[in-house]
Amino acid sequence: MRISLTPTSRVLVLSGAGISAESGVPTFRDAGGLWEGHAVEVVASPEGFANDPLLVWKFYSSRRARMADVVPNAGHHALVALEAELGDRYLLATQNVDGLHVAAGSQRVVEMHGTLMRSRCTRCDRPAFADTTAYRDNVAPMCGRCRERGRDALLRPDIVWFGEALPIGVLDRIEAFITSAGRDLVFVAIGTSGLVYPAAGLVDATRKVGGQSWLVNLEPPANATSFDHVVLGPAGATLPTLFAP
Ligand code: BV8
């Protein structure tokens, strides 16, 4: 099955952990996934961080360390080619924090849940900064600027945890794209279990404006029936030929 676009089609892609699986990045909810052995609320919530910041830093540091020899795959590159063809008629919203879309060359990309290779202070107004450090000490990293001012403040990964709002403007940009596309919207969700909101609600928003929805996934997830079309298979194999020339 292939997606045929018209000259007025506008494509919104939503990617999840599944698009990075073929690059060797574990997904969250597959067997042996990232959440295995970790309760989500313990390692990906503000309460969990407040309770045990060192455990949370060990979880994210191990994910940073694993990214050292991970590269984008054919699925990421196929989306870069689609963006080059469509220009401003294309937008990519990713739930992923692995940075692989940007590494592949995607430019019109909204990182809905932040990014793994960035940290920020829990206290001062220092902007989030690039940080690839996999902290190995037995103490959670502290903010240097706060220390200069005689205060102690923890650093945290610049990532959206459960119960936290998405970065300002993220949803507005996605919703503006959906509204402006209207019936010309082609929504394509790739490699996501469709369990986490508000990302999981984008298929419903597509229907509301009369757009068409596609799901490209290894297996049918819980919300598969919400989509007009389902293409089963690995993203790296299906994406390069998904769009009819
Ligand atoms: C918020 C942390 C409000 C970073 C993550 C209704 C409306 C609004 C909110 C809620 C709501 N109901 C519940 C909520 C709260 C909550 C939520 O959705 N909970 C769920 C669990 C019920 N949502 C939130 O808290 C969000 N915040 O709404 O804020 C607010 C407003 C104002 C003030 C305060 C609050 C924040 C959500 C962000 C949470 N952070 N991650 C990190 O550690 O990564 S979410 C986490 O799950 C990841 O970011 C991940 O991206 C995301 C989704 O997972 P998937 O990407 O789908 O991955 P998964 O493993 O599940 O699935 C992979 C799929 O790929 C599988 O189907 C598999 O078959 C497939 N696959 C595998 N291999 C391949 C493949 N497909 C193709 N090819 C392959 N090769």
The best mutation among 22, 28, 202 to test binding of ligand 1, ranked by most ligand atoms within 8 Å of the C-beta, falls on: 28
Q: Are residues 98 and 140 in the same domain?
A: no
> 141, exposed or middle or buried, with CB in 10 Å at 0-12, 13-18, 19+?
middle
Report the distance separating Cα 233 and Cα 146, nearest Å. 49
Domain that residue 213 falls in: 10-25+71-113+165-242
Q: Are residues 106 and 21 in the same domain?
A: yes
Q: Are residues 63 and 141 in the same domain?
A: yes
Report the distance separating Cα 138 and Cα 234, nearest Å. 39
Give me the pLDDT at residue 42, please: 87
Rg of the chain over CA atoms, in angstroms? 19
Report the distance separating Cα 141 and Cα 85, nearest Å. 43
Q: Are residues 105 and 182 in the same domain?
A: yes
Give me the pLDDT at residue 163, please: 95
pLDDT tens digits for range 178-218? 999 999 999 999 999 999 999 999 999 999 999 999 999 99
Task: Encode burial over 189-211: b for 16+ CB neighbours within 10 A, e otherwise.
Answer: bbbbbbebeebbebbebbeebeb
Give me the pLDDT at residue 38, please: 81
Q: Are residues 75 and 65 in the same domain?
A: no
Domain count, the chain: 2
CA of 141 to the centre of ligand 1 (A): 26
Give me the pLDDT at residue 244, please: 85
Q: Are residues 77 and 192 in the same domain?
A: yes
- Strand 229-232 relative to strand 212-217, pairing: parallel
Question: Are the CB atoms for 196 and 29 separated by under 8 Å?
Answer: no
DSSP 156: E
Has residue 3 been placed in a domain? no
CATH code for the domain in which residue 101 is found? 3.40.50.1220
CA of 213 to the centre of ligand 1 (A): 19
Query: Does residue 113 have an active-site annotation?
Result: yes
Nearest residue (CA) to ligand 1, atom 73: 18
Give me the pLDDT at residue 245, please: 77
Has residue 194 been placed in a domain? yes
Question: Are the CB atoms for 67 and 117 separated by under 8 Å?
Answer: yes
Q: In what order do the strands lie in the sheet with 155-159?
A: 129-130, 114-121, 155-159
Give me the pLDDT at residue 36, please: 65
Q: Are residues 175 and 216 in the same domain?
A: yes
Q: Are residues 225 and 195 in the same domain?
A: yes
Distances, alpha carbon 9 to alpha carbons 125, 164, 186, 238, in Å: 41, 33, 7, 20
Nearest residue (CA) to ligand 1, atom 36: 162
pLDDT tens digits for range 105-121? 999 999 999 999 999 99
The best mutation among 197, 215, 217, 230 to test binding of ligand 1, ranked by most ligand atoms within 8 Å of the C-beta, falls on: 197
Give me the pLDDT at residue 39, please: 83
Give me the pLDDT at residue 37, please: 75
pLDDT tens digits for range 58-89? 999 999 999 999 999 999 999 999 999 999 99
The pLDDT of 99-103, averaged and rounded, is 98
Query: Side-chain half-sphere of 17: how many Cα atoms within 13 Å?
Result: 15
Nearest residue (CA) to ligand 1, atom 23: 197
Has residue 228 been placed in a domain? yes
Q: Are residues 229 and 173 in the same domain?
A: yes
CATH code for the domain in which residue 128 is found? 3.30.1600.10
